Amino acid sequence: MNYFSIDREIQDKTKIKRSVFITHLIYVESMKQAKEYISKISGEHKTASHNCWAYIIGKKGEIFHSSDAGEPSGSAGRPILNVLQKHGMTNIVVVVTRYFGGVKLGIRGLINAYSECVEKAINISSLKRILEIKHYKIITSYGFFETLKFKFKTRSVEIIDVKYSEKIILTIAIEVEQIKKMENYLTELEKSGKIELIY
C-alpha cells in the first residue's frame, strides 16, 4: 500500500449553517511536531468554540490520535481521522477550528461537517507519496559516470550527492520496493569493475 502526505501547509475556510470551520493541515515527522502544531493553531484561535484535531505518524501510519476538543464524543476527531485514513495519509496533522454560529448541527451534522472540511482541504492540496528509501555510496570513473547517470535516470534512482576527486563518489537513493532489482544491477557493475560499492 502507498502512503501520502502534503508538501505545504494548507488552510481552508468553510461556512456551514452559520458556523465557520477553518481547516489547517501540515506535514510532520513526529508526535512532538504534531502536538506543537496543534498547540500553535489552538493558541491562534483561543476564542474559537472548538479546535478539533487528528494526526497520523509513521511509515505505515501506525501512530494516530484524535480529539473532539469539547464537541460531542465521536463527532469531530474520529471523522477527521477517518478522512485521513481513507486517503492513505501519514505524517500529517489536521486541526479544524470551529466558530459556532448559533445553529446546532446535531451529531450527524457535525460528523458530516468535519469530514467535509478535511476532504475539501485535502482536495485543494497536492498529495505526495511517502517513499521508504535506502542510500548507497558508489565510486566510479569519470569515463563511466555519464553512462551511470543515464542508467539511474531510466531506473528512477535519485543521485543526491556527487563528490569529484581522483574518481567520482556518488550517493544515491533507491526506493525500498526497487532495492532487490537495483542491488542485482549494482552487483553486476561491481563484478565487471565499473563501480565500487561502499556500504
CB contact at 8 A, 5 and 127 = yes
| Judgement on whether residues 115 and 17 belong to the same structural domain of the protein | yes
Name residue 98's beta-bridge partners: 21, 50
pLDDT at residue 151, rounded to an integer = 87
pLDDT at residue 1, rounded to an integer = 63
| Judgement on whether residues 96 and 9 belong to the same structural domain of the protein | yes
| Judgement on whether residues 162 and 75 belong to the same structural domain of the protein | no
How many domains does the chain contain in total? Answer: 2
Lowest mean pLDDT among 20-29, 53-62, 68-77, 148-157: 148-157
pLDDT in tens, 86-126: 998 999 999 999 999 999 999 999 999 999 999 999 988 77
| Judgement on whether residues 106 and 138 belong to the same structural domain of the protein | no
Domain edge (last residue) among 129, 150, 170: 129
Domain edge (last residue) among 99, 129, 159: 129
Domain edge (last residue) among 129, 159, 176: 129
| Judgement on whether residues 91 and 166 belong to the same structural domain of the protein | no
What are the start-end ranges of the H helices in the chain? 31-44, 77-86, 106-123, 142-154, 179-191
CATH code of the domain containing 34 = 3.30.230.30
| Judgement on whether residues 110 and 16 belong to the same structural domain of the protein | yes
| Judgement on whether residues 143 and 163 belong to the same structural domain of the protein | yes
| Judgement on whether residues 96 and 15 belong to the same structural domain of the protein | yes
Confirm whether pTM is higher than 0.85: no
Which domain, by its residues, includes 32? Answer: 3-129
| Judgement on whether residues 48 and 141 belong to the same structural domain of the protein | no
Of the candidates 35, 49, 37, 46, the one whose C-alpha atom is nearest the C-alpha of residue 11 is: 37
